[in-house]
Amino acid sequence: MKNAERVREPEMLEHREFGFVYFNRKGMERHLSFPDRESLIDFIRSRYPKHAYYSTAYYISPGAPTMDEKQWIGAELVFDIDADHIETSCKNVHDYWRCTKCGREDRGPVPNRCPNCGSDKLNSVTWVCHECIDAAREECEKVVDMLINDLGFHQKDLEIFFSGHRGFHIHLYDKRVYDIPQEGRREIVSYLRGEGLDIALLIERTLGSSIRPLDLDSKCWGGRIARGMYEIILTSTEENLKRLGITASVRKYILLNRSKILENMENANWEFLREIIRRRGGKKSIAKIIEHVVNMYAAEVDERVTIDTRRLIRLPGTLHGKTGLAVVNVDIDGLWTFNPFEDAIVLSDETIEVEIVGSIPERVWGIKLGKASRLKVPLYLAIYLVNNNVAELCRR
Amino acid sequence: MYKSRVEFNEYDIAKYPFTVDAIKRLDEIGFTLEDLESVLGDTISERAIERILNAIHKKTITTDTKYLHTDEELIAYYVTLMALAVLRDPYLDRVYAVAEAKRAYEYLLQEPLEKLIYIAEKTFSWQIRLLTIDSTVYPAIYFTHFISNVPEQRGLWKLVNRIILNGYTIVNKNELCRLIESEVKRKVLSDIENMRNRLDIIQTTKTIEEIATRIRKVWYPLKKRAEITITTIAGKEHRYPPCIRRLLKLAREGENLSHAARFALASFLLSIGKSVDDVIAIFSTAPDFNESIARYQVEHIAGLRGSRKKYLPFKCENMRIYGLCYPDELCRKVKHPLQYLRIKVKRIE
């Protein structure tokens, strides 16, 4: 495929704002607009930007310098899932930071402030690996599940893109979301994260109303919690209930009546909750179980991206300026077979020699690098190493 | 979609002048702005002025039953919007829209469910389904209408606490009225805005200008006082976290803040040393301001009443849950709005 053909312009291109970051200067050039695909491609060809973005919003005058003059019409709904914000053990292996103030350095996730001197000026070198991608994939799957099964969107209106670095962007093009105000978008994020779940209300309504939120077959949080509770009770042992913080009296009740409780749940009978509540620490124990289930199912998305109705997001088909990987479409059904270190590589694999000038992990993108100070690596990897400031190209 | 067979008569048109049925009736009457200059114009412009003054002073719009079925009432509504368009004052727009929505809410509560659904579907294009559970029929609305119109984000107004079936959430009649109320407010605001955008095409008339002048006289002194109060009290606002800055901006624009939003703002300002009177003054711009209730609540937060416990502002996590968090880069480093202020002040020093 020719490189230009890869660029996937957004729908209603003429109503979008574009922004670019270049190799040779700081900051972003914003407020650009293009009448058609051809002029967009011409611009990218002649300016070869490091990063390319477009607005999730569409405007009457996207090229106007201020938001008021642009005149907002609506915006896609976008979700950003980034391994940076998910706890993974691989960060202890491949991420590294150094405080510019006191010189303290360490491996692992980059903290917000230096634990030694409290400064927030930290230099960091971070890498992306299969484990990072898998963590992001899991969150991505949760978001897609909730968008389709809970909120009733159609798979055909959803697209997933690999972000070019450590995560995915999910774009939702359903017209029903275009005019949702910021507050509403904030609430969607809250829903995906399971935030603000009122446990007392959930129990009260399950025990005292004709429409019960807790229901094994339900396709919203009530269902997720019911199924999670079922699983916990099904697999419960003295130790794991204790680990969850369940009181002795409740543990005893659950373990003695397990099959009865499970049977009741299957028959949509939640009266056993009253039994648990009556016991010492009963309410608290139920809350512990539910909190555990919510944490299990909650999706980690970057709220700032979703609630910002004037956000610029990476243009599909362009390259991420740090990694050189392409922002490519990922088939929803093929989410788990997608391999960014094969499927998102578009640069040449011709071998090139680099000199290592910084600390590098043993393996990058599945390629073993070894400890030599000069390495022969494929061009696409050389670009990543150079952009991450740990290698320099050797003159031929 | 639910096809409701509802009779929408002249009373309904006077009660709900923002509906598509009302606009259709307006077209049928064929009233023009020139007609406003005739004898008939006097009652209409008086009524338009009364509507806006009601909104300013009473926070709602009262309608004498003798007007309730007349075309004049409908025409007066659109003349009012026109006058607001000419006034070009977003704060007043909001005060008016809140009052108009409140008026609609009071009427909606008295209506049968079918009529509520009729208005929501026909005027606001809501997607509504009727779901039968255990042989009882419940209206369910598509969740986007729900989240765009909830009055606050806690308890049953939070999506996470609702039963959702394929994107639709079941609502009761009271909830439906409250959600339509917010939608009416947004509709009134956008109707004024649309009229304003067409002002260069439509010629306004002497009468409209006169209405605007009379409103200005009453409104400007009140508005000025409110704006000065908030700005002087808030002080070095640029140091505040974005969530608090946003709430102050909304208060300044006369937006009706949710209970949680008021708590967040009041507890923050009290924690940084503002007095109870200052905080009450900030809320005085709210469209539904009631000094004695506000005083009671603010004093409660300040720990002068009830449990005598001084309340701390919400931490960031709770701000998020209540839908009040609008983070910037610095927010990544803090877990509490007061921490943000501390970092900002430190940096400036």
pLDDT digits (tens, 9 = 90+) for B16-65: 999 999 999 999 988 777 777 776 678 888 999 999 999 988 888 887 77
A236 and A121 belong to one structural domain: no
Helix, strand, or coil here: A207? Answer: helix
Q: Is residue B250 part of a domain?
A: yes
> Are A163 and A306 within one domain?
yes
In a domain, B311, yes or no: yes
| Structure token pair of residue A325 | 């990987």
A287 lies in the same domain as A177: no
Does residue B147 surpass a pLDDT of 70? Answer: yes
Task: Tell me the sheet residues that pair with A167.
Answer: A82
Asked if residue B171 and residue B276 are part of one domain, the reply reads no
| pLDDT score of B1 more than 60 | no
- Asked if the Cβ–Cβ distance from A220 to B147 is below 8 Å, we say no
Q: Do A55 and A94 share a structural domain?
A: no
For residue B218, the SS3 value is: helix
Please report whether residue A242 resides in a domain: yes
Looking at the structure, do residues A230 and A317 belong to the same domain, yes or no?
A: no
Among candidates A176, A187, A220 on the partner chain, residue whose Cβ is nearest the Cβ of B153:
A187
Per-residue pLDDT at B225 exceeds 80: no
Are residues B239 and B153 part of one domain?
no
User: How many alpha carbons fall within 13 Å on the CB side of residue A87?
Assistant: 1
For residue A74, list its beta bridge partners: A58
pLDDT of A160? 97
Asked if residue A156 and residue A33 are part of one domain, the reply reads yes
Q: Hey, of B160, B187, B243, which one would you mutate to test binding to chain A, going by the most A CBs within 10 A of its CB?
A: B160
Pick the residue of B1, B164, B247, B320 with the most A CBs within 10 A to test the interface with A by mutation: B164
Listed by number, the residues of chain B in 136-175 with a beta carbon closer than 8 Å to a beta carbon of chain A are 136, 138, 142-144, 147-148, 150, 153-156, 158-168, 170
Q: Is residue A157 part of a domain?
A: yes
Nearest-CB residue to B333 (from A113, A150, A176): A113
**Nearest one of B333, B332, B301, B335 to B318, comparing CA atoms:** B335
Q: What is the pLDDT of residue A29?
A: 95
Q: Cβ contact (<8 Å) for B325 and A186?
A: yes
Please check whether residues B211 and B248 belong to one and the same domain.
Answer: no
Residues B248 and B320 in one domain: yes
Q: Are residues B25 and B165 both part of a single domain? A: yes
Do B71 and B188 share a domain, yes or no?
yes
Q: Which residues of chain A have a CB within 8 Å of the CB of B170?
A: 211
**Judgement on whether residues A107 and A63 belong to the same structural domain of the protein:** no
pLDDT tens column, A26-55? 899 999 999 999 999 999 999 999 999 999
B134 touches chain A (CB under 8 A): yes
Please report the pLDDT score of residue A68 as a whole number: 83
Backbone φ, ψ for residue B329 (5° rounding): -60, -45
d(CA A174, CA A156): 9
Q: Which of B164, B167, B320 sits opposite A190 (nearest CB)?
A: B320
Q: What pLDDT is attached to residue A275?
A: 94
Which own/partner pairs from B223-226 qualify as long-range (CB within 8 Å, at least 24 positions apart)?
B223/B89, B223/B91, B223/B92, B226/B252, B226/B254, B226/B284, B226/B285
For residue A133, is it within any domain?
A: no
Among the partner-chain residues A179, A180, A190, the one whose CB lies closest to the CB of B158 is A190
Q: How far apart are CA B128 and CA A336, in angstroms?
A: 36
Domain end residue (candidates: A262, A297, A332) = A297
Q: In terms of C-beta density within 10 A (0-12 exposed, 13-18 middle, 19 or more buried), how is residue A327 classed?
A: buried
Domain presence at residue A132:
no
- In this structure, are B146 and B37 located in the same domain? yes
Q: Do the domain assignments include residue A131?
A: no
For residue B167, give the chain A residue with the closest CA.
Answer: A151
CB atoms within 10 A of CB A311: 18
What's the pLDDT at B39? 67
Task: State the CATH number of the domain containing residue A151.
Answer: 3.90.920.10
CB pairs under 8 A between A and B: 102
Residue A187 forms part of a structural domain: yes
> How far apart are the C-alpha atoms of B222 and B56, rounded to whole Å?
9
Q: Which residue among B219, B248, B281 closes a domain? A: B219
Mean pLDDT of chain B: 87
Number of domains in chain A: 4
By C-alpha distance, the chain B residue nearest A219 is B165
- Closest-CA residue to B250 (of B236, B232, B265): B265
Does residue A277 form part of some domain? yes
Whether A349 contacts A378, CB under 8 Å: yes
* Chain position carrying tokens 């007392």: A200
Of A68, A93, A125, which one is at a domain's C-terminal end?
A125
CB contact under 8 Å between A194 and B160, yes or no, is: yes
Q: Is a pLDDT exceeding 70 seen at residue B3? A: no
Confidence class of residue B235 from pLDDT cuts 50, 70 and 90?
low
Question: What are B94-126's pLDDT values in tens digits?
Answer: 889 999 999 999 999 999 999 999 999 999 999
Residues B285, B167: one domain?
no
Domain harbouring B148, CATH code: 1.20.930
Beta bridge partners of A326: A319
Domain of residue B259: give its range: 235-348
**Contact residues, chain B, for A222 at CB < 8 Å:** 163
Q: Tell me whether residues B143 and A151 touch, CB distance under 8 A.
A: yes
**A295, two tokens:** 């944490």
Which of these, A305, A309, A310, lies nearest to A19 by C-alpha position?
A310
| Beta-carbon contacts of residue A235 (< 8 Å; ≥ 6 apart) | none
Residue B297, pLDDT score? 87
Q: What are the φ and ψ backbone dihedral angles of B86, each rounded to 5 degrees?
A: -70, -35
Whether B343 maps to a domain, the answer reads yes
Provide the pLDDT confidence category of residue B339 given band limits of 50, 70 and 90.
confident
Query: Rounded to the nearest 5°, which phi and psi values hold at A352?
Result: -145, 150
Tally of domains in chain B: 2
Expressed as residue numbers, the domain containing A315 is 3-82+138-192+301-340
Q: Residues A20, A53: contact at Cβ < 8 Å?
A: yes
| Interface check B110 vs A, CB under 8 A | no
ipTM of predicted complex: 0.89
Q: According to the model, what pLDDT value does residue B118 have?
A: 95
Q: Which of A60, A145, A195 to mutate to test the interface with B (most CBs of B within 10 A)?
A: A195
Using the 3D structure, point to which of B219, B244, B261 is the last residue of a domain.
B219
Q: Which helix (H) or strand (E) holds A51?
A: strand A51-55
Residues A43 and A183 in one domain: yes
| Chain A CB contacts of B156 below 8 Å | 201
User: In this structure, is residue B335 part of a structural domain?
Assistant: yes
Ordered DSSP codes for B219-265 = HHHHHHHHHHHHHHHH-SGGGS-HHHHHHHHHHHTT----HHHHHHH
The terminus-to-terminus CA distance of chain A in angstroms comes to: 29
- Structural domain contains residue B2: no
Whether residue A162 is found in the same domain as residue A50: yes
Residue of chain B minimizing CA distance to A304: B327
A283 in the same domain as A146:
no
Comparing CB atoms, the residue among A177, A222, A303 nearest residue B144 is A177
pLDDT in tens, B167-183: 999 999 999 999 999 99
Q: Give domain status of residue B191, yes or no.
A: yes
Note whether A172 and A255 are same-domain residues.
no
Whether residue B200 is contained in a domain is answered as yes
Boundary-marking domain end, from B195, B219, B243: B219
Distance from the Cα of B155 to chain A's closest Cα (Å) equals 6
Minimum-distance CB partner of B147 among A184, A198, A211: A184
- Mean pLDDT confidence for B254-273: 87
Going from the C-alpha of A158 to that of each of A79, A145, A307, A330, B187, the distances in angstroms are 11, 11, 18, 11, 29
Tell whether A217 and A252 lie within a shared domain: yes
Check: CB of residue B237 under 8 Å from CB of residue B248. Answer: yes
Q: Is the separation of the CB atoms in A70 and A62 below 8 Å? A: yes
Q: How distant is the Cα of A40 from the closest Cα of chain B, in angstroms?
A: 30
Instruction: Test B150 with A187 for CB contact under 8 angstroms.
Output: yes
Which segments in chain A show pLDDT lower than 70? 1, 396
B210-to-A99, A386, B52, B268 alpha-carbon distances in Å: 66, 70, 14, 43
Is A315 a domain residue? Answer: yes
Question: Is B230 within the bounds of a domain?
Answer: no
Q: Which residues, in sequence order, are bridge partners of residue A378? A: A351
Query: B239 and B212: one domain?
Result: no
Model confidence at B4: pLDDT above 60: no
Tell me which of A101, A125, A149 is where a domain ends: A125
